[in-house]
Amino acid sequence: MRIGVLTGGGDCPGLNAVIRAVAKSLMVQCGAEVIGFEEGFLGLIERRYRKLDYRDVSGILAQGGTILGTHNRANPFNYYLEGGADVSDRVLGLYKELGLDAIVVIGGDGTMSMAYRMQQMGVNIVGVPKTIDNDLMETDRTFGFDTAVAIASEAIDRLQTTGQSHGRIMIVETMGRYTGWIALHAGIAGGADVILLPEFPYDLEEVARVCREREGRQRFTIIAVAEGATAKDGEMVVRERDESSPDPLRLGGIGNLLREQLKPLVDSEIRTTILGHVQRGGTPTAFDRVLSTNFGCFAASLIAKKQFGRMVALKDNHMTSVPLIDVADKTRLVPENSFMVTSAAAVGVSFGVSPEGFEIANLGSSIPLE
């Protein structure tokens, strides 16, 4: 058995833990040879790969980043170095030339979409869900998310002491692209007073009202805002565009915009902190190390059973797998009926919208804890 492995999209805590689990499981349990492709699909396109032995994948469990490298613009169906050419046949040719039985593709929604298209061309694929944004469909959790939340939560804790000392409004901008999972979890964990998510466009006057109320009471306010959040009738704040990327929009700056919007409406000083890439770097948390190991071992078991065209998933605290077609080109949003949203609202957190609909009494007996 000869298996390839690659890491696509942005870097993420836990990538090396997955590579380790996949490779070691296949080597020990199946006697397989494992080929690592460098910089994601770019390695397949440009024939950049190397054989991984047991020592290569030892001692990397807690190491951040990825030993294989990654590239978020290496799309075989729109190759940026050749003017957007479709070079998928080149990838298929190398797959056959190397005599691979399958490729383990570790990545987010964009990577899974590419993996699904390669599967349709005849490449045996097993996907592993990776993203700090936690926005992949059909899985309760992606690895890297817990680490990002832990970093953002600690940042909020630290900013709260400054806010208290100076009587300021402290705005913390998190990553998350078009979803608010990081801001929601970190905001709750850090005791934020306002949490603004892309899923619920905010009313500026409602945010200002909360800040003014706290000026006369606690004297400070903590606002956690996801980078994709927007005001009602507003638009996402785009930092830059990269047309060669599968996802050309680079979000960022809503924290600064919100600061300027709030200035004439409140008396307090306002400071903005944009966490940026600090959320996706460094060593993974213990939870992400365990989850990554479980994902990698389960991916290896799918290969051993020749169950291809599927992505590993965590559902109801059980390991399972789902068809790639159910994940490709889809985004998992924070649902309005999420118990996390409702419980946060119940203890006084504002989402920048009317609190009606976020009441505990409106929930049924079966509550999705998301």
Which residue in the block uniquely carries the two structure tokens 């990776």? 130
Which residue in the block uniquely carries the two structure tokens 């291809």? 308
Helix axes 181-189, 339-346, angle to 10 degrees: 40
- Residues 175/13, Cβ–Cβ less than 8 Å: no
Residue type, 270: I
Residue 184 neighbours by CB under 8 Å, 6+ apart: 195, 197, 226, 334, 338, 340, 341, 344
- Alpha carbon 349 to its chain's center: 24
Give the 3-state secondary structure of residue 249.
strand
Q: Of all residues in the chain, what percent are helix, strand and coil, respectively (each to 5)? A: 35, 20, 45
- Provide the strand spans (E) within 58-176: 102-107, 125-129, 169-174
- Alpha carbon 231 to its chain's center: 23
**Cα distances (Å, whole numbers) of residue 193 to 23, 106, 160, 229:** 44, 36, 11, 16
Enzyme catalytic residues: 133
